[in-house]
């Protein structure tokens, strides 16, 4: 074989070896970047993501140790590490420009130290290396964003060759770019979360100090919104519709509005529309003229006070038309009269009925419905604000123990569990009656299970059990219903903002959107609307 042919074969073998190493490096880089990208999507906390990144580099590159620093002012602090103890990690603090790490961060230029024992500016600040015992190389690359260097990524390799160090350098620079982007996004998420938490704390503090009505019990998100609406209504002259199930607290909301500083001291008249015919409601509200005799109605008597039309969802269309004129223009006529009168009274209405179905069935006039519901306060049922049940139960316990001169001071754990699990079809009113009964019959200082009504004893007796012995259990449906309740409550608390809801639930936006679509939830329904 000729020398030329031998050189050609040798050259070809070298190229094949180089190609093989290159392909191997590409596969390694692709694998590392794929795993790190997955970690950046699935992890929310920055330190956890960075630790996972170093674990991936260790698994793929067999590094001796690795660190990631992030900049805090003029200092660099190790935020994540691999191969360092907690004490060693805490010692890893560098000033900008100090040592190899500080120099990389200050200049934004990567550095490779083939042998740390021969580098005058390698500080070994963590004291984790036995310098001189084994040849250890150190690679440090900057983590940079548009705003500048935000940190560094560094690894140790023992006894590497120069070609291996160059390949590692290129891979680490690519990883640092991925880290920079992911950290920027995570920091933005953290900043947004902190901003929302601060707003929430500010809102809760404001509600506690300014907006929460006197004797208001409950701090769930739905009730905080109700308190804010009550405060808005109390500061204005607008007519108000209060909606909610029987016993949910509509009367309480009305009292809270009329007891606000703007309305306190003005007269309040209540007409129970459920107990009267339309003709009686009309005569009592507007007054009566008959045979030259005038009987003043409630509107004339109270002047600029408040009229509360309780349970008025079933009034007929003739009376609706007259109320529409009053609500819209402040004008009315006495029954039998021919002269228009003006009223400056405020009208608060309430209903537990389904006004929308009555609107579709033409039982309620469309113009009356829209005028009536211009400012609506919806009181959530007690079963949808279960976290408020213990506080309400404690309040009623103290109230009725004092009223009936009983020395009952506590509720047993078993009784409290029964109270929290019950579905309360008649809401707060039923809970209040239940606690009063328990206080009256309790033989000692503690309300026990036996002091509660029979309806609370078992779920089966109240039709609240989710399990039926005579029917197969649909586990997926039960879990889906539970997930739906949680997601709906958090969406409502965040005004339909799915991103904020995902952060609150500590899940990714993608997972929450999947659940929302699967469960048929519409976040737009929970968008907060300013009604004043």
**The token pair that represents 101 in the structure block:** 């790490």
Among candidates 260, 277, 359, 274, which has minimal Cα distance to 309? 274
Give the separation between CA 141 and CA 104, rounded to whole angstroms: 7
Q: Taking residues 340-353, what's their average pLDDT?
A: 94
As a CATH number, domain 221-378 is 3.40.50.300
Give the separation between CA 461 and CA 443, rounded to whole angstroms: 25
The predicted-structure confidence for 9-62, as pLDDT tens digits, reads as follows 545 545 554 545 555 656 666 777 777 777 666 666 777 888 888 888 887 776
Pairing state between β 240-243 and 376-378: parallel
Who has greater pLDDT, 100 or 43?
Answer: 100
Give the separation between CA 342 and CA 351, rounded to whole angstroms: 26
With a pLDDT cut of 90, the percent of the chain lying above it is 37
pLDDT over 50 (residue 462): no
Q: Taking residues 116-120, what's their average pLDDT?
A: 85
Q: State residue 105 phi and psi, 5-degree precision.
A: -65, -40
Min mean pLDDT across 187-196, 247-256, 493-502 is at: 187-196
Give the separation between CA 503 and CA 190, rounded to whole angstroms: 9
**In 3-state terms, what secondary structure has residue 463?**
coil
- Neighbouring residues of 143: CB distance < 8 A, sequence distance ≥ 6: 68, 70, 149, 150, 151, 152, 153, 176, 179, 180, 183
Who has greater pLDDT, 65 or 281?
Answer: 281
Mean pLDDT across the chain, nearest whole number? 82
Taking a C-beta distance cutoff of 8 angstroms, is the pair 454, 461 a contact?
A: yes
Query: pLDDT value at position 267?
Result: 94
The predicted-structure confidence for 471-493, as pLDDT tens digits, reads as follows 565 667 777 777 887 888 888 77
Query: pLDDT value at position 366?
Result: 94
Among candidates 286, 260, 284, which has minimal Cα distance to 270? 284
Q: Do 221-378 and 382-462 come out as alike in CATH topology?
A: no
Count Cβ atoms within 10 A of the Cβ of residue 101 and give its class: 0-12 exposed, 13-18 middle, 19 or more buried: buried
As a CATH number, domain 22-190 is 3.30.450.40
Q: Does domain 382-462 have CATH number 3.40.50.970?
A: no
With a pLDDT cut of 70, the percent of the chain lying above it is 82
Domain boundaries of the chain, sorted by first residue: 22-190, 221-378, 382-462, 475-526
Q: Taking residues 248-268, what's their average pLDDT?
A: 92
Q: What is the DSSP letter of 213?
A: P
Helices (H) and strands (E) in the chain, counts: 18, 17
The predicted-structure confidence for 145-203, as pLDDT tens digits, reads as follows 888 888 899 988 888 788 888 888 888 888 888 888 777 776 666 666 667 666 666 65
Pairing state between β 306-310 and 268-272: parallel
Q: Which long-range contacts (CB under 8 A, 24 or more apart) does 226-229 make?
A: 226/253, 226/377, 226/378, 226/379, 226/380, 228/203, 229/377, 229/531
Q: With bands split at pLDDT 50, 70 and 90, how would you rate the model's confidence at 204?
A: low
pLDDT over 90 (residue 334): yes
**In 3-state terms, what secondary structure has residue 67?**
strand
Give the separation between CA 293 and CA 278, rounded to whole angstroms: 21
Whether the model pTM is above 0.95 = no
Q: Please, what's the b/e burial string for 288-312 (b: 16 or more CB within 10 A of its CB; e: otherwise)?
A: bbeeeeeeebbbbebeebbbbbbbb
Q: What is the DSSP letter of 66?
A: E
pLDDT over 80 (residue 457): no
Give the separation between CA 39 and CA 179, rounded to whole angstroms: 10
């Amino acid at each position: 074989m000729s020398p030329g042919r031998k050189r050609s074969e040798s050259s070809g073998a070298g190229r094949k070896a180089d190609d093989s190493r290159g392909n191997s490096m590409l596969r390694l880089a692709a694998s590392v970047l794929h795993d790190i990208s997955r970690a950046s999507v699935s992890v929310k906390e920055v330190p956890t993501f960075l630790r996972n990144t170093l674990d991936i580099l260790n698994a793929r590159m067999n590094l001796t140790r690795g660190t990631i620093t992030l900049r805090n002012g003029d200092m660099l602090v190790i935020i994540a590490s691999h191969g360092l103890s907690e004490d060693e990690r805490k010692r890893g603090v560098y000033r900008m420009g100090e040592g190899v790490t500080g120099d990389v961060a200050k200049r934004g230029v990567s550095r490779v130290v083939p042998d740390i024992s021969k580098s005058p500016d390698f500080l070994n600040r963590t004291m984790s290396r036995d310098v001189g015992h084994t040849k250890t190389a150190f690679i440090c690359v900057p983590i940079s964003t548009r705003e500048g260097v935000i940190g560094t990524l560094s690894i140790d390799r023992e006894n590497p060759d120069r070609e291996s160090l160059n390949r590692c350098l290129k891979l680490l620079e690519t990883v640092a770019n991925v880290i920079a982007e992911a950290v920027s996004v995570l920091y933005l998420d953290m900043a947004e979360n902190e901003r929302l938490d601060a707003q929430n704390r500010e809102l809760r503090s404001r509600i506690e100090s300014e907006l929460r009505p006197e004797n208001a019990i409950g701090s769930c998100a739905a009730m905080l919104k109700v308190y804010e609406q009550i405060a808005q209504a109390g500061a204005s002259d607008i007519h108000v519709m209060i909606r909610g199930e029987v016993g949910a607290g509509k009367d309480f909301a009305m009292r809270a509005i009329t007891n606000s500083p703007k309305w306190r001291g003005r007269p309040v008249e209540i007409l129970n529309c459920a107990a009267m015919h339309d003709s009686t409601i009309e005569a009592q509200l507007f007054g009566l003229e008959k045979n030259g005799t005038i009987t003043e109605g409630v509107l004339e008597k109270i002047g600029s006070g408040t009229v509360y039309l309780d349970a008025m969802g079933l009034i007929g269309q003739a009376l609706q038309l007259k109320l529409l004129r009053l609500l819209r223009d402040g004008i009315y006529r006495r029954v039998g009269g021919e002269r228009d009168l003006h009223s400056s009274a405020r009208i608060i209405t309430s209903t537990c009925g389904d006004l929308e179905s009555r609107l579709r069935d033409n039982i309620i006039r469309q113009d009356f419905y829209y005028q009536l519901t211009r400012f609506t306060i919806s009181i959530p049922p007690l079963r949808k604000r279960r976290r408020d049940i213990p506080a309400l139960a404690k309040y009623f316990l103290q109230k009725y123990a004092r009223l009936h001169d009983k020395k009952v001071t506590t509720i047993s754990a078993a009784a409290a569990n029964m109270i929290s699990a019950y579905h309360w079809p008649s809401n707060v009113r039923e809970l209040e009656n239940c606690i009063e009964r328990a206080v009256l019959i309790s033989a000692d200082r503690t309300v026990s299970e036996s002091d509660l009504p029979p309806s609370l004893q078992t779920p089966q007796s109240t039709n609240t059990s989710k399990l039926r012995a005579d029917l197969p259990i649909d586990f997926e449906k039960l879990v889906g219903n539970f997930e739906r309740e949680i997601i709906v409550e958090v969406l409502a608390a965040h005004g339909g903002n799915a991103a904020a809801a995902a952060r609150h639930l500590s899940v990714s936006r993608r997972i929450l959107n999947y659940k929302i679509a699967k469960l048929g939830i519409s976040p737009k329904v929970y968008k907060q609307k300013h009604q004043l």
